[in-house]
Every structure is written in C-alpha cells, then in structure tokens.
Chains A and B, each alone.
Chain A
C-alpha cells in the first residue's frame, strides 16, 4: 500500500515538474507583458517538433537538440512578439483574441504540414530505474532533471544578472522602470523569448515520454493556466509550488479515484483557490 502511495507521489512530482516548466514561461510572460498567451501550448508543441526534426534529420544528441530547439523557438517567439503582440500591448482582450488566432493557425499548419500522427523522440538513455520497488522511466527522470535545471537557471538569471533584475523591475512597476531608463521593448522581447524557450524545453522534454503531435499542446496549456492561477500570476515560486501541487493532486486523483477524475481534480482545486484566495498562493496585488 505504501508502495502505491510513494509511487503516486513520485509520479506526481515528475508530472508536476513538466507543468512547472510550461507554467513558468506563461507566468513570466504575464508578469512582464500582461498577456495570457493562448498560443503557449503551440510554442510548446513547436519545441517538441523542433527537437524531433533535429534529431531525426541530423542525428544530433537529444540534449543538444533540446538546446538548439530552445534557441530556434525563442527567436520565433521574439519575432511574433514584435509583429503581432507589440502593437496591442495595452489591450489584454485584444491580445487574447490574437493569441487565440495564433494558436489556431500554428496548430493547424502543423497538422497540414506534418500530419496528425504521433512521433516519438528516441533517446540513447532509454530504460527504467528501479529504486525500492518503485519504477521510473529514464525519460521521465530526464524531464525532471531538465525542469529542475531550468528552474534553477531561471532563478539565478532573474536574481543575479542585470537583465534579470531589470525584468523584476518591469514586473513590479513598468512605468517606474521606464523612468529608470530600462528599455521596455527590449524587456518584453526578452521575457517573451525566455518564456518561449522554457515552453520549448518542456515540449522537447515531454517528447520522449508522451510523443510529439500537433495536438500535444492543448491539454498542457490548460494545466499551465491552472498552475499559474494556483501559484499566483507572476510569481516564479508560485508556479513551482503550484505545478508540483497540481501534479501530485492529479496523480492522487487518478490513482485513487479513477482515470476520469484526473482532470477534474485540477479544476476543483482551482475554483476553490480562486474563491478563497483569488490571487493564488503566492500572488501579490500590484
């Protein structure tokens, strides 16, 4: 019995770590730019496909492909921000519609050009580790490690580097930051680029575990919304905690209640949190 319990916890942690990665990108973009990016799931998907194609056609090692994909997708993201989002910065509802349009376009273009079928990203380190009777696939472990690495990396970047501190300033009060001479446009581009890079990494990490398809972003982005609401919009710690909570809650829900409840658990938690503490666990009022 405890074995199932422990396995459920570990499953939840690993699942949660992926949610964290996607949510982090989303919350970063929100705190700097004020947008909820509906197309985030499709950015995630592009990351997965990029890694697939790089690996398939150039035979590059998985981790290297992941990094290259991050760069490609981040560049793409910055272009999108410049062309589509920047003109509408002031109006969140317009941004909502545009990001929705973008999501539709990206998803269905992927469908038309790459077909609907799933693809796997083969890795060199396939296999399963068994510790104390619990099993973890190496791919999941890799995803977990990637997530942890990137979270730590982001934390260090935001806390220690000049650009990171500038981002913090913009997140807190962008008018004051502008007055201090921080280039808001550059910051927005940076935030969006990092956000997309994180989503791309999440997509690449998920590839070996859950396969790559044009539709792979639909569910994860909904989960990411729940996570950032749970943790608090704009809070990095909130996303981490929220992601882990959601992962574990879903894991327990699905294991002990039934497969149908895997998704419902998340929504119920969300509604409760929003009613009790609307800003989320770590959210703050600006």
Chain B
C-alpha cells in the first residue's frame, strides 16, 4: 500500500507542478508594445489560405516597427503579432480566442478565415469588447448585435453580383448554372450568394453541389450534370488547386459549360495546374492583380518576397490582410488610443483608404445591418491564351 500512497502524492505533485509552471511561463507585457492576436489556420488543409493572414499581418507590422513604430495619442507603439492556430475548426478558434484574450490580454484579433472558428469565438470577443478583423465568409459573422466584428475582405456576397452581370453581358445565351462549393459553412454561404445573383441576372441555378472540401474527383458530379447541360459552372471558392482541376475535368468530359471562378486566383498558377488549353475562357473576379505596375503593389511584392522568399506563394489573402493590418494602424492613429471601442469607431469612419487592393471603404448596412464590410473595386478577368485579361472593373 506504500506505492498507492506514493502514487497519489506523485499525481498531486504533477498536477500542481503543471499549473505552477504554466503560471511562471508568462512574459511581462512590454509597456509600449501592443500585442495583436492573429487567429488563423496554420496547420491542416485550411493552411492554404490561413497562412496568408499571418504573413500579411506580420509584414505590415514589421514595416511599421522598422519605421520606429506608430504614434498613438502621443506615444510611440511597436507591434507584436502573436499567432494562434485554430486548425480551421470551431473548437480551435474558441481555444485560441480564450488564450488570446485571457492569457495574452489582447483586445484586437485579426482573423480567422474559418467561419466555424469566428462563429465559435464571437460570443467571447463581443462580450469582452475585442475587435475582430475577420475574413470568413459566413453571413452571420456581421450583425448589428456584433458591433466589434468587421469583415476585412470581400466575400461572395459582394463579388457575386459583379460576376453574374458580366457573364450575362458577355454570354447572353447562357440560361442555366450549377454551383460547386465546399460542404461547410463558407461553401453554403457562397452558394446562396450566387443563386441570388444569377437569379437577378436572369440565369437559373439548376443544381447546388457540395462536395467535401478537399475533393479533387469531380467526374461523378460532372457526369451527372452533363445531362442537364448547364450553361456555366460556378466555383464556390474551392481553392485554386481544386478549381483548376475542376476546370480541367470539365474540359476532359467535354462539357459545354463555361467555368466561372468564385474568388481571386493567381492566373499563372491556375494555368500551370489546369493546362493552358483547358484554362482558356475561365472567368473569375479578382481583387488583387499580382502583375500590377502600381508602385504600392510593386513595393508590397518586393517586401513580401524579401521576407518570405522568392518562391513564396501569394494568395489573395496575403495582400488583403496586409491592407487590413494597415487599416488597423490607421484607425489606431486616428483614435489616438488603444481602447477597442475608440478604435472601432475610428475604423468605421475611414474613407477611401489607399491599400494594395485599391481604395478601401466600409459599408454594407443594407445587407448586414451594420457598416462593417470592407468594399473595394475589383475587376473581372478571363484567361485568354494562358494569360490574364482584364475584362472590366466593378464599382
């Protein structure tokens, strides 16, 4: 029985030790350093977009710190980006938010791109008046009851009308459409947006497909809808790899449908993955032109490549969050305070902010009941002869 007693002692000791160690592991917060949390998917399949959030934010913070910091209400602040991996899940997001708010005591969160993650932690952040600059596409992320949440990125709700109108203009013969979106919160939201926009444009969506995120084999689905002969197949932000494969398979199976993208893609990568011939005619919206000659874009790309390497991939998420972080800095400056309510108010009043993605502004009251959706101009592009061709601008 000696060992049993020892056992209980050992367990108790371990228990206490762990807690004590944890208590000791906190670095004191710097007096003039502002911690900003970035909650995003850093592992698992969501990392494809998730890393862009961190990279964009880190780059922006680094640049500001290199200039000596930001002047907020007379004091100089440098910024520390603290990253959390939410693994693209709700539980991950909730855990990350708990850690960020209670342990690291942040009051600004950048992220996440996962709708499940954001929806999971929004109760917590709103209750604690934590500013959330998210990118997730589920509609419910923005509501009047959630005054501290912003979407820093155009979702399908904003992009779909433009695409639908352009498709109708260029291809008046198309009467039917099929949406293909991932079977999760974002995907459902996107599909709804396209159904509505196409209806407004006089095109009927005859089928909404929801393959599991990560599916690459669309043959069965295409086989089935081939009989219905849809005029176009709309990608619901499947990701550049998946949409490239989808387009390739559409062509392989000889469907006469026009492939339409749902999100910005890197045209060179798309052509590489899909094949030059198969990529011909692919139409998509783009908020970021990687080949733009505008100085702000060129500089961004240069700094990005310097920090992350020549071969580093840039998705549309990186420049968006670079802009989002800079917008945050502008709001901090304007608010002259780090109090989240004051920063929130300042953020709402920023007009025509010049970012990598063009002129940015908040709006969206008609759709969400609150002006916390970022708007910018975007253009519709098409792949012609292996290159991106701009068809026209929206707004």
User: Which residues of A come within 8 Å of B, CB atoms?
Assistant: 4, 7-8, 11, 15, 108, 111, 115-120, 126, 128, 130, 135, 137, 209-211, 213, 215, 218-219, 250-256, 258-260, 262-263
Contact = CB atoms under 8 A, between A and B. Distances in A.
B241 A259 contact: no
B223 A117 contact: no
Contact of A11 (B45, B223, B226, B242): B223
A126 B253 contact: no
Contacts of B210: 259-260
Interface in B223-268: 223-224, 226-227, 239-242, 244-245, 248-249, 252-254
A218 B214 CA distance: 9
A116 B48 contact: yes
B183 interface: yes
B313 interface: yes
Contacts of B240: 117-118
A48 B212 CA distance: 22
A250 B218 CA distance: 12
B336 interface: no
14 contacts: A108-B43, A111-B47, A116-B48, A117-B48, A118-B273, A137-B248, A137-B252, A215-B44, A252-B220, A253-B220, A254-B221, A256-B224, A259-B183, A259-B210
Contacts of B239: 118
Nearest to A138: B252
Given A4-B224, A117-B313, A215-B214, 19 more contacts: A4-B223, A116-B45, A116-B47, A116-B48, A116-B313, A117-B241, A117-B269, A118-B241, A128-B252, A130-B254, A211-B216, A211-B245, A215-B44, A218-B45, A250-B220, A254-B220, A259-B221, A260-B183, A262-B211
Interface in B48-70: 48, 51
A135 B273 contact: no
Contacts of A15: 217, 219
Interface residues of B, number: 41
A259 B209 contact: yes
A253 B224 CA distance: 11
Nearest to B46: A116
Contacts of B180: 259
B273 A120 contact: yes
Contacts of A210: 216-217, 245
A115 B313 contact: yes
Contacts of A111: 43, 47
Closest 7 CB pairs of A and B: A118-B241, A254-B220, A210-B216, A259-B211, A255-B220, A116-B48, A116-B47
Interface string B104-131: 0000000000000000000000000000
Nearest to A256: B224
Contacts of B220: 8, 11, 250-255, 259, 262
Contact of A8 (B209, B223, B244, B248): B223
A219 B214 contact: yes
B272 interface: yes
Contacts of B355: none
A262 B252 contact: no
B215 interface: yes
B386 interface: no
Contacts of B215: 219, 259, 262
B312 interface: yes
Nearest to B274: A120
Interface of B: 43-45, 47-48, 51, 180, 183, 209-212, 214-217, 219-221, 223-224, 226-227, 239-242, 244-245, 248-249, 252-254, 269, 272-273, 275, 312-313, 315
A263 B212 contact: yes
Nearest to B311: A115
A189 B249 CA distance: 40
A111 B273 CA distance: 19
Given A11-B219, A218-B214, A254-B221, A135 B245 contact: no
Contacts of A252: 220
Contact of A255 (B51, B224, B242, B244): B224
Contacts of B248: 137
A128 B219 CA distance: 13
A130 B253 CA distance: 9
Nearest to B212: A263
Contacts of B272: 120
A117 B240 CA distance: 8
Given A111-B47, A262-B220, A135 B211 contact: no
Contacts of A215: 44-45, 214
B273 A255 contact: no
Contacts of A254: 211, 220-221, 224
A211 B241 contact: yes
Nearest to A129: B252
A119 B274 CA distance: 10
A58 B178 CA distance: 41
Nearest to A126: B275
Nearest to B49: A116
Nearest to A212: B241
A15 B218 CA distance: 11
Nearest to A117: B313
A74 to B, nearest CB: 25
A262 B213 CA distance: 12
A261 B42 CA distance: 29
